[in-house]
């Protein structure tokens, strides 16, 4: 179990309680799933994009571990760029749905030297915080000589941002695929990975388990692997998984993963997010109704893959690789479909709920400048009964005018009109932080905003538009 993740109550969508005991003393009355309690709230997608040309991650970026430590949320990812294979980076935020900002301008874990076991790729980070304050990273590594045989290595640090030091005797587990989750429970480390890679389709496979008494091993592969097989033929996930996380919460092992409909060209495989649970970490049961986060709910999403989770009742935050149906921007056309960014989905485990969803954040907007519509991820309002937009900024020292928020709406989240459905102003005051709100009524299915600085001579800073969604 990752001790940086809270462990004081069971996930509301999974267990019922006959009483309401004090924190840390709740016991499940029943193992039955309340299937109707999962409410999918599409989050910002994309939430983090690949780097600008020349950056270390200017190729693709794919999701790795996400966790909370103190007041900070960490989102690890692996990316390609500069003619090199996957390397590991991290983004940080003060809220589980962001906005996330990349840390630094270099990977936090780089390739090994030529001829080493991980000289071609390092990916799929999974972080545990140990009792002595050490952070332990399990990750998948690939050598130039090994072709597609990914093995598992270790690195340690005193802080999630590093510096990370690789274990001298890596790899600790050879040929075991893509790490999806590591759980410390019952005196053992449980490592879940997509393995064997390619068993169900190009780059896809089932979820398998290995256990050990220490992170350095020796590791024992479960003799009845896989623990989570691909779905039956004809089901939405009959192509297997592109990784997925198992995490322990409230005495239950929870799995969230991207299940695929395979396409002969791997990058065009279609994935949605499914859920399974286990009381022992070995035998998992699926929800009667899946997927819990279908890709069809996210405009322009071809796949929600490489899924990782943070559970903070009444919400489950799902971080995933985002592949597109069509290029997001005209300049992406030459690289399409080999473009991947990161997105976020949210699962509410109860109604009513209220959640603040980031819409647009900018450090500054220049005099008379207006943001671009493409820079605002579509805001999905189908799960909410009410949506309130809150705009805030800090005006320049000689400002006389503030912001105008232009609201555009859409029925499909793909086609956007050239005219506003609504607009509202945050009136400027010299040197002041100003705020304005607007309830969207009637509530559209999808919305985007453009932010215009009305002042002709002064910039505005710390600009944010957030949507308070209530359902």
Domain boundary among 322, 348, 374: 348
> What residues pair up with 433 in beta bridges, in sequence order?
394
Confidence at 266, pLDDT banded by 50, 70, 90: confident
pLDDT digits (tens, 9 = 90+) for 359-387: 999 999 999 999 999 999 999 999 999 99
Q: What is the CATH number of the domain that holds 243?
A: 2.115.10.20
Asked if 321 and 392 sit in the same domain, the reply is no
Residue 7 has pLDDT above 90, yes or no: no
Within 10 angstroms of residue 325's Cβ, the number of other Cβ atoms is 17
Cα first-last separation, the chain? 32
pLDDT tens digits, 178-199: 999 999 999 999 999 999 999 9
Spatial distance between the Cα atoms of 84 and 225, rounded to a whole number of angstroms: 33
Confidence of residue 149 (pLDDT cuts 50, 70, 90): very high
Distance CA 191, CA 186 (A): 13
Q: Which of 98, 168, 91 is nearest to 125 (CA)?
A: 91
Measure the CA–CA gap between 165 and 128, rounded to whole angstroms: 15
Residue 147's pLDDT is what? 76
Q: Do 287 and 426 fall into the same domain?
A: no
DSSP type of residue 297: G
* pLDDT tens digits for range 296-320: 999 999 999 999 999 999 999 999 9
CA separation for the pair 255, 130 (Å, rounded): 22
Contact 49, 63 (CB under 8 A): no
Residue 376 has phi, psi (to 5 degrees) of -110, 115
The answer to whether 356 and 466 have CB atoms below 8 angstroms apart is yes
Position 378 in a domain:
yes
Residues 344 and 394 both lie in one domain: no
Q: 254 and 134: one domain? A: yes
Q: Phi first, then psi: what are they for 441, rounded to 5°?
A: -145, 125
Residue 360 and residue 451 in contact, taking contact as beta carbons nearer than 8 Å: yes
Residue 159 lies in a domain: yes
End residue of a domain, out of 318, 348, 378: 348
User: How many domains is the chain partitioned into structurally?
Assistant: 2
Distance CA 74, CA 193 (A): 21
Q: What is the pLDDT of residues 384-408, one digit of tens each?
A: 999 999 999 999 999 999 999 999 9
Domain boundary, last residue among 319, 348, 377? 348
Whether residue 62 has pLDDT greater than 60: yes
Shared domain check, 406 and 268? no
Identify which of 186, 175, 184 has the alpha carbon closest to the alpha carbon of residue 208.
Answer: 175
Residues 374, 339, single domain; the answer is no
Residues 330 and 204 in one domain: yes
Report pTM. 0.92
Out of 8-12, 206-210, 362-366, 396-400, least confident range: 8-12
Residues 104 and 76 in one domain: yes
DSSP 3-state assignment of 181? strand
Q: What percent of the chain has pLDDT over 90?
A: 83
Cβ distance 468 to 354 under 8 Å? yes
pLDDT tens digits for range 408-420: 999 999 999 999 9
Report yes or no on 364 lying in a domain. Answer: yes
Q: What local confidence, expressed as pLDDT, does residue 288 receive?
A: 75
Domain that holds residue 443: 354-470
3-class secondary-structure state, position 231: coil
Residue from 464, 329, 449 nearest 379 by CA: 449
Question: 370 CB contacts (<8 Å, ≥6 apart)?
Answer: 406, 450, 451, 452, 453
Task: Answer whether residue 19 shows pLDDT above 90.
Answer: no
Max Cα-Cα span within the chain? 71
pLDDT confidence band for 13 (50 / 70 / 90) = very low
């Amino acid at each position: 179990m990752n001790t940086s993740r809270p462990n004081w109550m069971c996930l509301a969508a999974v267990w019922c309680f006959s009483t309401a005991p004090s924190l840390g003393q709740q016991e499940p009355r029943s193992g039955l799933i309340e299937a109707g309690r999962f409410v999918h709230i599409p989050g910002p997608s994309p939430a983090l994009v690949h780097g600008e040309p020349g950056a270390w991650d200017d190729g693709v970026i794919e999701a790795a571990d996400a966790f909370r430590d103190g007041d900070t949320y960490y989102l690890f990812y692996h990316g390609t760029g500069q003619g090199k294979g996957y390397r590991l980076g991290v983004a940080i935020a003060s809220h589980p749905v962001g906005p996330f900002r990349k840390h630094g301008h270099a990977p936090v874990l780089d390739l090994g030297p030529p001829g080493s076991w991980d000289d071609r790729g390092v990916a799929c980070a999974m972080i545990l915080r140990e009792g002595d304050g050490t952070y332990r990273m399990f990750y998948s590594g690939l050598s130039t000589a090994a072709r597609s045989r990914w093995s598992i290595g270790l690195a340690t640090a005193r802080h999630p941002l590093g510096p990370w030091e690789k274990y001298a005797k890596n790899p600790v587990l050879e040929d075991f695929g893509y790490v999806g989750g590591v759980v410390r429970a019952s005196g053992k480390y449980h490592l879940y990975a997509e393995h064997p890679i390619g068993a169900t389709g190009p780059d896809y496979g089932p979820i398998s388990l290995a256990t050990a008494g220490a992170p350095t091993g020796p590791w024992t592969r479960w003799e009845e692997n896989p623990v989570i097989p691909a779905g039956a033929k004809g089901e939405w996930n009959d192509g297997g998984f592109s990784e997925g996380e198992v995490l322990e919460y409230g005495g239950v092992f929870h799995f969230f993963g991207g299940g695929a409909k395979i396409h002969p060209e791997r990058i065009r495989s279609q994935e949605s997010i499914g859920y399974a649970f286990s009381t022992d970490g070995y035998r998992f049961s699926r929800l009667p109704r899946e997927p819990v986060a279908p890709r069809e709910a996210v405009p322009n999403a071809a796949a929600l893959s490489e899924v990782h989770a943070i559970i903070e009742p009444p919400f489950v935050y799902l971080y995933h690789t985002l592949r597109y149906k069509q290029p997001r921007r005209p300049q992406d056309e030459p690289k399409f479909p080999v473009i991947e960014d990161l997105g976020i989905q949210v699962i509410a485990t109860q109604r009513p709920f209220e959640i603040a969803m980031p819409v647009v954040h900018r450090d500054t907007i220049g005099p008379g400048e207006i943001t671009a519509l493409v820079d605002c991820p579509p805001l999905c309002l189908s799960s909410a009964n009410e949506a309130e937009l809150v705009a805030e900024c800090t005006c320049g020292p000689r400002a006389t005018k503030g912001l105008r928020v232009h609201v555009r709406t859409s029925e499909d989240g793909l086609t956007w009109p050239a005219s506003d459905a609504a607009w509202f102003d945050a009136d400027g005051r010299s040197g002041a932080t100003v705020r304005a709100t607007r309830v969207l009524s009637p509530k559209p299915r999808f919305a985007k905003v453009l932010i215009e600085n009305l002042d002709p001579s002064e910039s505005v800073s710390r600009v944010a538009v957030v949507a308070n969604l209530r359902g």
